[in-house]
């Protein structure tokens, strides 16, 4: 309304403050939606933990990898949901730059978990390393098989060479 005098000035100031508040509210809502959209596109799971290691927020990838449910698991300690002795030990004393690789009980996949202290809170990253774990197992199996396949013929040859060395009727160069 068009009011003159002191009340008109007061209403004008209140109107400007209200419009500025609405602008900032829309801006924060827009930024929050953009953050959620971008965090959902991350290939790694991201979980924000409180100082007591309780879940405060997580993205969609973390929910898929760890089986988290937004309405049920918020506020619960992460060690109650990720039940693994190696992870529990790592969580008590996270190593800078290091993480822990665990096998998830519900399936045949492996996760690399990293916990990063950030100002009294913790940022936890979860990455599916199933492919890398399977490749490492295949490499170990190949080395073991190749070693066995080479060792067997060499053992036979070594036995013949020892027999020839012990035989006095064979020339020394043989």
Q: What is the mean pLDDT of each run of 10 residues along the chain (174 residues)?
A: 78 92 95 87 89 92 89 91 86 76 78 89 90 86 86 82 78 70
pLDDT for residue 147: 84
Around 144, how many Cα atoms within 13 Å sit in the side-chain half-sphere?
6
Q: What percentage of the chain's residues is helix, strand, coil (to nearest 5)?
A: 55, 20, 25
According to DSSP, residue 14 is labeled H
Strand partners for 46: 125
Token code pair at residue 42: 């991350």
pTM over the 0.75 mark? no
Backbone conformation region of residue 152, classed left if phi is above 0, alpha if psi is from -120 to 50, else beta: alpha
């Amino acid at each position: 309304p068009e009011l003159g005098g002191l009340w008109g000035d007061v209403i004008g100031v209140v109107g400007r403050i209200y419009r500025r508040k609405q602008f900032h509210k829309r801006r924060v809502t827009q930024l929050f939606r953009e953050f959620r959209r971008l965090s959902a596109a991350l290939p790694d799971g991201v979980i924000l933990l409180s100082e007591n290691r309780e879940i405060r927020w997580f993205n969609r990838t973390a929910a898929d990898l760890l089986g988290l449910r937004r309405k049920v698991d918020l506020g619960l300690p992460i060690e109650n949901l990720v039940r693994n002795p190696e992870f529990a030990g790592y969580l008590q004393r996270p190593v800078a730059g290091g993480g822990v690789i665990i096998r998830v009980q519900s399936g045949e996949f492996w996760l690399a978990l990293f916990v990063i202290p950030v100002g009294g809170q913790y940022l936890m990253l979860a990455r599916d390393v199933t492919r890398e774990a399977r490749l490492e197992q295949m490499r170990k199996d190949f080395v073991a098989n190749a070693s066995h396949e080479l060792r067997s013929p060499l053992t036979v040859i070594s036995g013949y060479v020892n027999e020839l060395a012990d035989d006095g009727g064979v020339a020394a160069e043989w």
